[in-house]
Amino acid sequence: MSDPANLQQVLDRIVRTTTEQPWVRLGTIMDTVGSRSFGPVLVIVGVLLMSPISGIPGVPTLSGLLILFVSAQMLVLGPGYWLPGWMMNRTLPAEKLHRGIRFLLPAARFIDARLHPRLVPVVRGPGSYLISAVCVVIAAFMPLMEVIPFSASAAGFALAVFGLAMISLDGLLALLGLVFTFTVAGLIVINFL
């Protein structure tokens, strides 16, 4: 199976793979998008964190662990990743997952129509390591976002933007994601000082 080329393909694959199941294993979702593609993983986690499913206790922390595992391995080992069995066996309610995906499909179509390859070195080669490093930092703060319901949505937005940029090879989108991430981080630091 080839890597998905846009957000709608990622979402469609997840829905096709998880229909008629009351609970969806994280491993099933990861197998759907492949274990060598970092972009779809970021999109999936970002979408989950922007959906109502992020309000389920443990989802932000699990998402942070997933991104930490994957992005750290990308920094050290390059393409491809491995996740422990206990993480791959975690489940999510399929109904909430599908509801979140249905909510996002119109936006996915709108977004996909505007993305295309540009500034490719930002998302390939050395640029991908910068994105991975930023994702490691975001992931490290995800457990702290557990205490405030839905606060992980901003992190989810940044992760989804990075994932979309990597899928579509859109370096401009990745740069906008970096600006967003550093702006939010700066605002948080300023509010705590």
Question: Which pLDDT tens digit goes with each residue over 147-180?
Answer: 765 568 889 999 999 999 988 889 999 999 999 9
Which of 48, 69, 72, 44 is closest to 60 using CA atoms? Answer: 48
Instruction: Determine the distance from the C-alpha atom of residue 183 to the mean position of all C-alpha atoms in its chain, rounded to a whole number.
Output: 19
pLDDT above 90: residue 13: no
Give the pLDDT confidence score for residue 133 in this predicted structure. 93
Burial of 141 (C-beta count, 10 Å sphere; 0-12/13-18/19+): middle
pLDDT above 80: residue 41: yes
**What's the distance, Cα to Cα, between the start and end of the chain in Å?**
49
What is the DSSP secondary structure assignment for residue 174, as one 8-state letter? H
Whether the pTM exceeds 0.85: the reply is: no
